[in-house]
Amino acid sequence: MNPNTNVEDLLRSLDPLTVEVDQQNAARCDSVWAAIVVNAEPARRRTRRWRVVGASSLVSVGAAVALIVGLLPGTPVMSAAAATLHRAAVADAGAAALSSLGTGQYYYQDAQVTMTCQFAAPTATGTDPWITYVSDGTMRSWTNANGDGKIVITPTPVNEGGSHFATPADEAKWVAEGKPFVPCALIDPSNKLVGNSANSDTTGSLGGYSTSVSGYGGLGVILGFVQNATPVTVNGVPVSLALATDPQSSNVTNLPTDVQQIAAMLANGEISTDGTVSSTPQVCPVDASANAAPGCDTNQQLTLIQQLLQLPEASAKLGSVLYDILAQMPGATVTANTTDSFGNSGSLVSVPLDGSSNNGVFQVLLNPTTGVLLSSTALASPTTPLGATTTSPASAVSYGPIAVVSGIGTLPSVSN
């Protein structure tokens, strides 16, 4: 080495940042912002609800309930959807409660999931259409009494197990680009950076591709899940995406089960999309407009319920509560004897977002007898960039039974 080389130059030479990487990071400014908006909300005190909702809050609780009731169109006449939801709420509330957790124990739930991913080459322009891919897979969750735990998502390989490109044109574009990495698909030899030298792995596991992932919004891991995911490998081959233990991933266990109480909290904006609670009214964490006052309107509450119901334990703990609130939403319809994409059969309740199916539809499939939540589905708005129709799920979760296990990674025994 040149003996005149100075320390300053040497230290600068160690800077790992390259112009190429910097430019690629800059191109993701919008997608990172989208993830921030999803996850950010006004500061919330993470205190237990029943400690903070006391006599001093009764006035606001009453006002919020009045607000909800006031929003109801034709309250005296219960629609078929509302009646179905109310019956389900009653039945579900009467069902056996979840077992209490001992030290070191976790609630375990197995679910089938569908999500939609979009991705685009690093050189893609604004007019270059993204590739849309619908991924099916399984989701296993472990949640302890504090809401901490782990979620493991195992998608299927490309074009297997029901996973597919949204349209033949999407698949053709993927093939034309050399079959690059498909986000939210299982990595296997068919899903690598093969045959596309422009996608050399210089920018991480995604090969520089920009990604956008819809689905799992209620899990508090939307968009961030690809970045958060740590591949679980077998013989060096990633087989699933294990989300890091995150105390904010699921906070359902700390939510109350009283209908009026939770309704008031939803109306006050005190419940975040991941179940985190605040002791005071907040600007609604869902689509709040600039300078918005604290509180959530009806549609914002619906979105909150949609996301809460997608939390792994919510169907057991909050199903009946949220059904009753859902029943109050305008435009809800019910279709009996419906079979969802997972094969579950029950009564399907559909609620349009913003009062119009053009803005997307949230659906829950219920067992009309027991009230058990079988699945929830978010149908894409035809105007979203997903390129889907209102009959195509942007995300869907089919819930399995909940069991108590002794630790993260432990599966329930057959007797469970």
Partner 1 sequence: MNTNQPPTSSTRPPTRSEFEAFYREHYAAVSRFVTRRVALSTHDDVVAATFVVAWRKFSTVTNPSLAWLYRIASYEVSGEYRRQGRQAQVVELNDLNLVGSAPVGDVVDVSRAFSQLSENDAELLRLVYWENLSRNEIAEVLGLSVNAVNVRYHRALERFSGALSRLDVIAGTVEPTNPPTQEN
Closer residue to partner 1 (CB): 37 or 83: 37
- Interface stretch with partner 1, choices 1-9, 61-69, 172-180, 383-391 (CB under 8 A): 1-9
CB of 403 within 8 A of CB of 108? yes
Instruction: Record the tokens describing residue 257, joined without a space.
Output: 């089960």
Among positions 1, 59, 97, 234, the unique one binding partner 1 when judged by CB under 8 A: 1
Q: Does 224 bind partner 1 (CB under 8 A)?
A: yes
Among positions 52, 65, 72, 283, the unique one binding partner 1 when judged by CB under 8 A: 283
Instruction: Record the tokens describing residue 390, joined without a space.
Output: 């209102």
What's the one-letter identity of residue 193?
L
Among positions 13, 56, 337, 391, the unique one binding partner 1 when judged by CB under 8 A: 13
Least separation in angstroms between residue 263's CB and partner 1 is 24
Return the number of other C-beta atoms located less than 10 Å from residue 33's C-beta. Answer: 10
Residues of 183-200 as b/e, b for ≥16 C-beta within 10 angstroms?
A: bbbbbeeebbbeebeebe
Of 133, 179, 140, 181, the C-alpha closest to 160 is 133
Instruction: Record the tokens describing residue 269, joined without a space.
Output: 């904006």
Least separation in angstroms between residue 229's CB and partner 1 is 9
Q: Does 93 bind partner 1 (CB under 8 A)?
A: no
Among positions 20, 36, 129, 172, the unique one binding partner 1 when judged by CB under 8 A: 36
Among positions 20, 25, 94, 358, the unique one binding partner 1 when judged by CB under 8 A: 25
Q: How far apart are CA 343 and CA 338, in angstroms?
A: 9
Among positions 94, 104, 195, 204, the unique one binding partner 1 when judged by CB under 8 A: 204
Least separation in angstroms between residue 25's CB and partner 1 is 5
Query: Per residue, what are the HEC states of 186-238?
Result: ECCCCCCCCCCHHHCCCCCCCCCCEEEEECCHHHCCCCHHHHHCEEEEECCEE
Q: Does 233 bind partner 1 (CB under 8 A)?
A: no
Q: Does 200 bind partner 1 (CB under 8 A)?
A: no
Torsion angles phi and psi, residue 299, rounded to 5: -70, -35
- Interface stretch with partner 1, choices 53-61, 204-212, 264-272, 399-407 (CB under 8 A): 204-212
Place of tokens 């698949």: 171
Q: Where are the beta strands (DSSP E) in 76-217?
A: 106-120, 131-143, 149-155, 164-165, 210-214
Among positions 154, 227, 335, 390, the unique one binding partner 1 when judged by CB under 8 A: 227
Among positions 105, 196, 205, 257, the unique one binding partner 1 when judged by CB under 8 A: 205
Q: Does 236 bind partner 1 (CB under 8 A)?
A: no
DSSP 3-state of 119: strand
Q: Does 197 bind partner 1 (CB under 8 A)?
A: no
Of 274, 351, 259, the C-alpha closest to 311 is 274
Least separation in angstroms between residue 227's CB and partner 1 is 4
Among positions 14, 59, 77, 97, the unique one binding partner 1 when judged by CB under 8 A: 14
Calculate ∠ Cα 190-152-326, nearest 5°. Answer: 115
- Interface stretch with partner 1, choices 16-24, 99-107, 356-364, 369-377 (CB under 8 A): 16-24
Closer residue to partner 1 (CB): 217 or 371: 217
- Interface stretch with partner 1, choices 2-10, 99-107, 232-240, 320-328 (CB under 8 A): 2-10
Closer residue to partner 1 (CB): 205 or 260: 205
Return the number of other C-beta atoms located less than 10 Å from residue 230's C-beta. Answer: 12
Among positions 42, 178, 355, 412, the unique one binding partner 1 when judged by CB under 8 A: 42
Please give the C-alpha separations between residue 355 and each of 2, 303, 349, 350, in angstroms, as whole numbers: 72, 12, 14, 11
Q: Does 77 bind partner 1 (CB under 8 A)?
A: no
For binding to partner 1 (CB under 8 A), which residues are involved? 1, 3, 5-8, 10-18, 21-22, 25-26, 28-29, 31-33, 35-37, 39-43, 203-206, 223-224, 227-228, 230, 244, 283, 288, 290-291
